Structures are given as structure tokens and as C-alpha cells.
């Protein structure tokens, strides 16, 4: 799928859907970034989509949106500070945003960027809270927020995913009365924003008001997840996050006619999300399917060989990726990877990605897909019904680690720079050993 013309199969696959989700099996693979970029270009140029919504923080995403619409700023800093969970620290993401900015410079209908996830890499209230406080400085300058609220939030705020474990430890060490006071303070802020809607919107404009109100709601969702963590209730954390993301997509739909949504397969699938050791959770995709019906379509990815995100503890020491072995026999990934033995053997070569429209399968194709009741998500597998979960599958025969963007890494917190330096050293050592 090299030229946009090769994506014409999308025309029938998406129909008139307002939200087209593009999933990935694991984060930070270069091939996934490139696929999403190409699909976005096609959907923008041929179908008039005007929004790219990504599994990244909502309050931070406004920096990216401003930049792709022609705002000032260094792209490396925008990548590092406008996206969360390390999503923007890669060269393919830089190319993606640069294309959006170039397109918007001449387009009659610009393409906006939105984060749909909780702020602060899903762990810190600080970015959202700071956005709310900055807004109140304009909308209600005489109002004074108790400084203890932000101090408590900062006490367990993670600067990046690499300090998330320490942040959880700091959260658990907070006295219950301090946590309760923070929750009460957030509730008071929410009530103030809601109650003074007309006055605030008149001073700042309706759009600025609506944006900060959604930011406030997502910040409260992080607090709710944090309280669940203190009880050891990890499943409620997942429930809160998936529902909050769905609410944000609906928020965007009130502003944009058609959206490309980019997130992990586990989020966008019309099937319960399953994480190792936890019961199933209602996914973002299930929420959207319930709310939007046929206006929601899902393009998922499967993978063959290559590298995948490391989920072991040494990830935090710079071993970001691990080799991905052959797919489990009988899994969805194995069925699509073994093209010589499936109905999909007409693809050009073994390294070429290809798509399967699950709504237009032959009897033999449907039988092969239906028999595959498990899918690989990086380092683990999830049980699911692919025909219920997805509309289209794109198979990536080989996936590799995306190339880091040096400017974005340099603009990141010190802990991110240190881990990426350790990863680079590991790679260099491996290459040297292979050459000997």
C-alpha cells in the first residue's frame, strides 16, 4: 500500500461513518505510525475528514492543534509537550504533524488535532489542573484557589511514564485526609465552572469555556482513578479511562463532522478490553459502538515478526523493545501472517502490508477468520471475536521500533532523555557485537 490509490478499498469499508478508528497492536512501532499517517491523508483528501484524534492527553493536545493550524513553536517541543505517554517522540509522528501543518496552510477545511485521553500520561492531575487555573485567571481573576490543591496534585504527579511507579508510591503514601481534601477541591472547582457557565463563556468565548470544562472533567477522572488505585481496584481505573475517552470523542463530534481516531486495538475494538490478571472491561470501542452504531468503524492491525514494546520492568532501564517471535498458532495474527496457506496469497510479497474487509469475506475467508479467537497485543494475547470486534484488518508482516526524534527527546524531561540514551547505548552495543 504505497500510493494513496492503493487505499481505495477504504471507500466501501468506511461508508458514511463519522468515526473511523485505526488500531495498533503495540505502541511505538514505526509501521503503525506510517499506516495511520497514510490512512489519515486518504480520509482527509478523499472523504473530507477534519479531525485526527489520538490516544494522548486532552489538555496537552491543544499545543499540537495550535501548531498544525500554523501556530508558532519548535516542532520538537510540540512533540514532547503536546503529546503524552511518549506518543510524540518519534520521527514518523513528526512527519505526520508536519504534513498536517502543510495541508492546513492551503486547505479550505483544516484538519485539527485532538488528544482523547486523560492528561499527564493518565497519571498526573497537574497538566489539566494548570489549564483550569490558567483559564480562571482570565475568566475569574478575583477568585483564589487554595494552593494546597495543586501542591497535593504535584506530590504524586509523574513527569513521564518512566516515573509512574514512583508516582503511584507517592499517591499511596498520602494521608487519606489529604486525598479527600484534593477530591473535594476538584469537586468545588467543577461546580464553580458549571455554575458560572454564562458569565465565563461571555468573558472568554464559548469554545474556550467548553474546552476547559472538558479538561476539568478529565482531571476529575484521573482523581477517580487514583482513588481506585488506593483501594487496589485496578479494574475501576480502566473503566474510568475508557468511558472518559469515549466522552471526549463525543465532545469532538460536536465540533467536527468526521474523525480519524488512533489508539491501541484494545481501546478501539467493539469487544471488552482484557488486561493480564484482570476481568474484562468495557472498552472505548464498545462505548462508541453503543452511542454511534454504524457511524463507528474499526480498522485493526495484526502483526508478524519484528519488535514490540517491552512490558517487563527493564523497560524503565532502557530496554524499550523486545523481539517478537512467531504468532501463536491459530491466532488471528498467525492466520493473516501465513498468507501462503490462506485465501490472501495474492499479495505482492511477504513484506507488504495488506487489508481484509471483514464485511466482504468469502465463505472460506470467514471460516478462517472466525476460527481465530485470539489476537496478539504485543507481549500477550487476548480472546476476542474478530468479526464482532472489527470491520477491517490490516496485517503488518514485520514491525520495527520507530526511530526517535532527536529534537523531541531533547525537549523531554531528564528521565526520558536518560532512558532513551540507555536504549541507544543498548542498540549500539548490540550492533557492535553483531559486527564482530
pLDDT in tens, 56-104: 999 999 999 999 999 999 999 999 999 999 999 999 999 999 999 999 9
Q: How many helices (H) and strands (E) does the chain have?
A: 19, 10
Rounded Cα gap, residues 113 and 100, in angstroms: 9
Tell whether the model's pLDDT for residue 126 goes beyond 90: yes
Check residue 328 and report its DSSP letter. Answer: P
**DSSP calls for 195-233:** HTHHHHHHHH-HHHHHHHHHHHHHHHHHHHHHHHHHTT-
Kindly report the pTM of this predicted structure: 0.95
Q: How many CA atoms lie within 13 A of 314 on its CB side?
A: 6
Q: Which helix (H) or strand (E) holds 76?
A: helix 75-82
Average pLDDT, the chain: 93
Tell whether the model's pLDDT for residue 1 goes beyond 50: no
pLDDT in tens, 298-313: 999 999 999 999 999 9
Q: How confident is the model at residue 6 (pLDDT cuts 50, 70, 90)?
A: confident
More confident: 352 or 358 = 358
Amino acid at each position: 500500500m504505497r500510493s494513496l490509490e492503493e487505499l481505495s478499498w477504504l471507500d466501501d469499508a468506511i461508508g458514511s461513518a463519522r468515526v473511523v478508528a485505526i488500531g495498533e497492536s503495540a505502541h511505538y512501532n514505526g509501521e503503525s505510525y506510517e499506516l495511520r499517517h497514510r490512512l489519515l491523508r486518504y480520509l482527509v483528501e478523499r472523504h473530507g475528514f477534519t479531525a485526527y484524534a489520538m490516544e494522548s492527553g486532552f489538555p496537552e493536545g491543544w499545543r499540537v492543534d495550535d501548531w498544525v493550524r500554523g501556530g508558532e513553536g519548535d516542532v520538537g517541543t510540540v512533540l514532547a509537550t503536546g503529546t503524552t505517554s511518549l506518543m510524540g517522540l518519534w520521527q514518523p509522528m513528526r512527519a505526520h504533524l508536519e504534513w498536517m501543518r502543510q495541508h492546513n496552510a492551503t486547505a479550505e477545511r483544516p484538519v485539527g488535532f485532538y488528544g482523547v485521553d486523560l492528561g499527564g500520561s493518565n497519571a498526573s492531575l497537574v497538566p489539566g489542573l494548570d489549564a483550569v487555573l490558567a483559564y480562571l485567571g482570565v475568566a475569574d481573576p478575583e477568585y483564589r484557589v487554595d494552593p494546597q490543591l495543586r501542591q497535593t496534585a504535584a506530590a504524586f504527579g509523574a513527569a513521564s511514564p518512566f516515573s509512574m511507579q514512583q508516582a503511584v508510591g507517592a499517591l499511596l503514601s498520602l494521608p487519606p485526609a489529604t486525598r479527600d481534601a484534593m477530591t473535594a477541591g476538584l469537586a468545588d472547582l467543577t461546580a464553580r465552572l458549571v455554575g458560572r457557565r454564562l458569565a465565563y463563556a461571555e468573558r472568554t468565548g464559548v469554545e474556550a469555556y467548553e474546552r476547559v470544562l472538558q479538561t476539568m472533567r478529565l482531571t476529575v477522572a484521573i482523581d477517580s482513578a487514583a482513588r481506585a488505585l488506593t483501594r487496589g481496584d485496578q479494574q475501576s481505573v480502566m473503566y474510568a479511562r475508557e468511558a472518559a475517552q469515549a466522552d471526549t470523542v463525543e465532545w469532538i463530534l460536536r465540533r467536527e463532522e468526521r474523525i480519524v481516531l488512533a489508539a491501541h486495538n484494545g481501546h478501539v475494538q467493539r469487544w471488552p478490553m482484557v488486561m493480564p490478571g484482570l476481568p474484562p472491561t468495557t472498552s472505548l470501542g464498545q462505548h462508541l459502538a453503543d452511542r454511534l452504531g454504524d457511524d463507528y468503524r474499526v480498522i485493526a492491525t495484526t502483526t508478524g515478526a519484528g519488535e514490540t514494546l517491552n512490558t517487563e520492568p527493564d523497560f524503565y532501564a532502557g530496554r524499550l523493545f523486545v523481539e517478537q517471535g512467531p504468532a501463536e498458532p491459530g491466532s488471528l495474527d498467525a492466520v493473516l501472517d501465513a498468507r501462503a496457506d490462506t485465501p490472501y496469497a495474492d499479495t505482492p510479497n511477504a513484506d507488504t502490508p495488506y487489508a481484509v474487509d471483514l464485511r466482504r469475506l468469502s465463505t472460506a475467508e470467514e471460516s478462517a477468520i472466525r476460527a481465530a479467537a485470539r489476537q496478539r497485543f504485543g507481549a500477550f494475547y487476548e480472546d476476542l471475536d474478530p468479526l464482532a470486534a472489527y470491520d477491517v484488518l490490516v496485517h503488518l508482516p514485520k514491525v520495527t521500533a520507530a526511530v526517535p526524534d532527536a529534537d523531541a527527546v531533547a525537549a523531554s524531561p531528564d528521565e526520558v532523555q536518560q532512558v532513551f540514551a540507555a536504549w541507544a547505548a543498548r542498540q549500539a552495543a548490540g550492533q557492535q557485537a553483531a559486527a564482530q
